[in-house]
Each structure stands twice: as C-alpha cells, then as structure tokens.
Amino acid sequence: MIFILVTITVLIILYFIVTSQDVFGAEAKGERLERMQQSKHFKDKKFQNLSYTPSLTEGYSMPKVMYNFFFKKKDPLLKPVKNLPSIHTDLKNLSKDKDVFIWMGHSSYFIQTDGVSFLIDPVLSLYGSPFKFFNKAFAGADIFKPEDIPNIDYLVITHDHYDHLDYPTVKAIKDKVGKVILPLGVGAHLEKWGYKPEQLIEEEWGAEIILKNDIKITFTPARHFSGRKTQRNVTLWTSYVLETPTKKIFLGGDSGYDTHFKMIGEQFGPFDYAIMENGQYNEAWKYIHALPEDVIQASIDVKAKKIIPVHSSKFALALHPWNEPLEKVLRLGKEKKLNILTPMIGEPVDLNKEDQQFRIWWED
C-alpha cells in the first residue's frame, strides 16, 4: 500500500515538474479569465463549438484509435522516402510592394499584401510537439528557421496546439513581431513567453479589428478544440477573414466540416483566396479535422475563387500517406472545377496573378 502511494506521489510530482516548463504555456487568470467567462461561447468552464462536437466519430473508441496509431502496420508512405522538394525564398528581401503567399509546410505560412506582412501559425522548430523525440519534421520540409523571418507586422495564431503554436519559434521571433492576433485565452501563453500585453489583439468570434493600411480582420468560427496540457477547450480556436483594399482572404484554421463555412461564405464571400486545412485527418476524428471531400465542400461554401490547401507535408500526425491530402484534394477539386493551388514549400504564390500553375511535386 505504501509503495502504491509513493508511486502515485512521485508520478504527480513528475507531472507538475514536466508541465511547469515554459513550452506548456500558462493558464488564463484575472482580467483575461473574466473576459473568457463573459463570452457566450464559454460554458461549463470551457469554450464550445457552434454544434455538438464529440472527440471521436460514432463507432470509434479511444482504445481502438490509440491501438491503430501505435500498433497497426503503418502505410509505407506515412513519411516521405526522400527529401521533399522545396524553395528557400528569401523573406527578408521581398519587396514591400509585392503581394505574396509563401507556405512553410504544415499550417505555417507568410502573407504580404497591401504593404502589410502576416505570419500565420509558424512552427519552424524541428518538432510539432512539446518534446524533441516526437513528431519530427520531414526532411526538406524544415528549410525555414526562425532566423529567416523578417520583421512582421502581425503574427497570427489560430489556436494553441503544438503544431500551430510553437514555443521555440514564437519565443525566437519575439523581437521581430509588431502585434499578435490570437483567440481568447491564448494570450496567457505569449505573455509567459515575454510578449507585452499591449502587443496582443486577443478576441473571440465576431470581433472585427482594423489593422494597418485599412485592412480588417474578423474572428470567425471553426469546429475544433484546444489545449496544451490535459485540459481541453480552456482557450478558444478560430478562423479569420482578412479584408484588404484589394482582396479578401479566408484563413481557415483547423476545423471539421460544419454549417459555419456556409455562414462565413454568405456573410463575407466570395473570397479571392481560401487557405484551407487539409491533412492529418481520419474518419475517427472527422468532426475536428475535415476529410478531403469535406474540405472541397467547405471551399464551395465559403465561395472561394482560389484554394490553397495546407496542414500537410511536414508532420505525420495521422495514419494516411503523407502525400494523400494533396492528391485527393486536387483530384476532388478538379471534379468540381475548383481552382486548387499547390505550391511547393517556399514557392511564392503571386496574389495578384490570375492564372498560376504549379506542378504535382509530391509525385516526384
């Protein structure tokens, strides 16, 4: 009995030692917590999706999912067999009058438009997790480092999962960032990491913020979840609508399919570009990560003229082949006569060019 109590005590102590590390962030307190509690989306001490959203699809259980993830025979193309092709575009020497999108792998990307720069969900360390032995980046997908990042007007965060909010990256670029746009509660992490409260634009769904050069960003719903420790949904997750004097861009964020896409399309569409999360999916968790066919329907719902799929090609966070997300979304998009853009990591997309062609690089 004494041995069991000692073991439990040691495990509890180890848990608190591990989770007290900076990488795990901080819990919201004081005025921030009060703001969260006043949100209509915050109930029972957690943020809620617009629709009921179970963690797993009906018919699946967590033991079954975990068994498949750790013990089921893996697809031989779960990870690339050779280095991914990529282009190391020099972000620091981009002309300010150039309107451009540059994907950095997974959900990290750089946008410059109307003279203003945005860096979205940068994960530029080698791991999409709190530990250096888990979720290592694919070779070739890791070409951008924090030191490659120029001064940024706005760092944009969609939610606080490790593959979107990367402590080493966000800490390293702190002195290059003007303002940070992020959902309610997530600011507690960044303040712990040295960001000033006045740098943070921390809001909930429906908030509209005027930025530099008459650009407006609106916080819009997503169907997902959040959490860096054991607690889920104690911070908000979001998508964004970016409206500039010359274009309209939807930043999708992680999301399962739901009615919010149609609502966003009706209220804000059509969009010149929609950056859609496509990858790391599984039928077992389709409510929180859209399947490729759902990504296509969501793109139609938001009335996207051009679609750039992200959330793939850097980490193996699901069991599908690494190149399946791009292959499927391109094929399904062609069937619906959608304009799907598939640049390589680091390959610039000219946001003012009407007709752009990209090769099927994942088949090389």
pLDDT tens, 327-351?
999 999 999 999 999 999 999 999 9
Residue with token string 């919010």: 260
253 vs 214: CA distance, rounded Å? 23
- For the record, the structure tokens of 21 come out as 């590390």
Tokens linked to 135:
């979720």
- Tell me the pLDDT band of 64, cut-offs 50, 70 and 90: confident
What length does the chain have? 364
Give counts: helices (H), strands (E), the chain: 8, 15
CB neighbour burial string for 292-324, b if at least 16 within 10 angstroms, e if fewer? bebbbbbbbbbbbbbbbbbbbbbbbbbbbbbbb
pLDDT-based confidence at 69, cuts 50/70/90?
confident
Task: Give the pLDDT confidence score for residue 70 in this predicted structure.
Answer: 85
Joined tokens for residue 149: 């990042």
Confidence class for position 11, pLDDT limits 50, 70, 90: very low
Q: Report the DSSP pairing between strands 304-310 and 46-47.
A: unpaired
Average pLDDT over residues 72-93: 94
pLDDT tier for residue 68 given thresholds of 50, 70 and 90: confident
